Amino acid sequence: MLQERELKTFVDGTTNYFEVAAQQPATVGSPYLVTKGKPGVHGYTGVINVSGKREGVVYFTASRAMLTVLLMKLKETDFSDATLCDLVGEVANTISGNARRDFGRDFVISVPSVLSGDDVDIPMSANLRPYVIPINWRSHSAKLVVALK
């Protein structure tokens, strides 16, 4: 089970990403534990598998609209699916990379895999209980999901 300070590492990594990359802070809703089933996803999801001292998955999921506005803030003019996939993978990788820095070298993260669509199934061990961290940026909502043991 994640401790509050560990969850805070992911929250801080997420808010930091938006402050630095988008130069506009994101707000974080109250994290909650999913006790049945899996959290839903938005249109684009960047998934990081974690192994080593902790095992599980971390993913960032956002809508096309949110990622498009984020690309505009980054002065990008290509809004293709490939670019949106690259961006959601970058966000997930940055958040997880910051957590790796805090947790140490025994926190091993994979290269991000990116899924698109609203009905994707994130591979996750049945014995994991995911925490969902709601992310609000401008008028958009996203989720960071942390499922580690």
What is the domain extent for residue 127?
A: 4-148
Residue 38: exposed, middle, or buried by beta-carbon count in 10 A (0-12, 13-18, 19+)?
middle
**Number of domains composing the chain:** 1
DSSP string, 15-76: HHHIIIIISS--EE---EE--SS-----SEEEEEEEEESS-EEEEEEE-HHHHHHHHHHTT-
Indicate the pLDDT class of residue 1, thresholds 50, 70 and 90: low
Indicate the pLDDT class of residue 113, thresholds 50, 70 and 90: very high
In tens, the pLDDT along 96-106 reads 888 888 888 88
Encoding tokens for residue 91? 């966000």
Encoding tokens for residue 108? 């091993």
Average pLDDT, the chain: 91
In tens, the pLDDT along 45-74 reads 999 999 988 899 999 999 999 999 999 999
Is the pLDDT assigned to residue 2 strictly greater than 80? no
- pTM equals 0.92
Task: Say which CATH number the domain at 63 has.
Answer: 3.40.1550.10
